[in-house]
Amino acid sequence: NQVEHEMISGAIRTTARPHTPRRWSASWVNLSDSDARWLRYLYRRSGGPGPMVVIDAATRNFQRPAASLGRGRPDQWAPGSGTIAGQSDLSNLWSGGLNLAELTWRHPVWGRWPVSPGLLFSFRHNASAPTTGVAFYTRSGTYMYNVTTPNQEINVSPPAGAVWVRPYLVKAGTGTLTIPESCIRYGTTIGASWREGEHCAAMTLRNPSEAIQVLPLRDLTLDLLEM
């Protein structure tokens, strides 16, 4: 993630990207034609240019590292009122928010977070807030309904027809609030401790290859690169 450059003067300059994208390679052997057709649909981008959603069970926090710590660009959150500004200690401070204003966690690619009906969606933060909630939306962005809890963690199975979710907290009073540490997870609950963010599930397909060994079976290989 860090690149070193030697200057003509002899000085050394280093540069580093703030985020290292994840890479995966996947391969399948002896696929039936129907299974191969589904993968071919993905890597030929028949459904659109992408990126695509990849939910892997090993990921414990589906956020980028800085966002999970309450750091990074202020536009990773959307306040219902007031403004968010970065501080000298790298934290972000929400100020000017009205009483019971909502603070939304924004996905860095899609804005809202992808969900699948029946796959548990969990959101947790460590702020002192009276309400934690999630709001579900259809593929076209039509609002469906929301679910709230007085706790710091909410766990909800998305309903049929839900494609997007908006996680948020509700602030009490009009004072300032430091953007809290948080966790977003699929498939399981979170608990009192969690690891920092790992990636945000937005991937693009690269380097697909297909080989036929014995008809009608075939082998497929492709790479996934995080956006």
- 89 and 150 together in one domain: yes
- 94 and 187 together in one domain: yes
DSSP state of 97: P
- 81 and 116 together in one domain: yes
**177-178 sheet: strands from edge to edge:** 83-86, 92-95, 177-178
How many Å is the Cα radius of gyration of the chain? 21
- 73 and 118 together in one domain: yes
The end-to-end CA distance of the chain, in Å, is 15
**112-148 pLDDT, tens per residue?**
999 999 999 999 999 999 999 999 999 999 999 999 9
CATH number for the domain spanning 167: value is: 2.60.120
- pTM comes to 0.84
**145-196 pLDDT, tens per residue?**
999 999 999 999 999 999 999 999 999 999 999 999 999 999 999 999 999 9
**Residue 46: partners with Cβ closer than 8 Å, 6 or more residues away:** none
In angstroms, the CA 143 to CA 159 distance is: 12
- Band (pLDDT 50/70/90 cuts) for residue 2 is low
Mean pLDDT value across residues 55-73? 93
**Residue 210: partners with Cβ closer than 8 Å, 6 or more residues away:** 36, 40, 218, 219, 220, 221
Residue 149 belongs to what domain range?
55-200
66/9: higher pLDDT? 66
| Chain-centre distance for alpha carbon 5 | 33
Contact of 68 with 60, CB cutoff 8 Å:
no
- 122 and 227 together in one domain: no
Inform me whether the pLDDT recorded for 17 exceeds 80.
no
Q: What is the mean pLDDT of the chain?
A: 90
Backbone angles phi, psi at 65, to 5 degrees: -50, -50
Task: Please report, for the chain, how many H helices and E strands are present, in that order.
Answer: 2, 18
Mean pLDDT value across residues 11-40? 80
- 131 and 116 together in one domain: yes
Angle made by CA atoms 102, 104, 107, in degrees to the nearest 5: 175
CA distances from 32 to 102, 122, 155, 219 (A): 49, 35, 37, 9
- 210 and 225 together in one domain: yes
The predicted pLDDT at position 193 comes to 92
- 67 and 179 together in one domain: yes
The predicted pLDDT at position 19 comes to 64
Inform me whether the pLDDT recorded for 6 exceeds 90.
no
- 159 and 113 together in one domain: yes
Residue type (1 letter), 165: V
- 69 and 146 together in one domain: yes
Q: How many domains does the chain divide into?
A: 2
| Chain-centre distance for alpha carbon 161 | 20
- 72 and 135 together in one domain: yes
- 103 and 193 together in one domain: yes
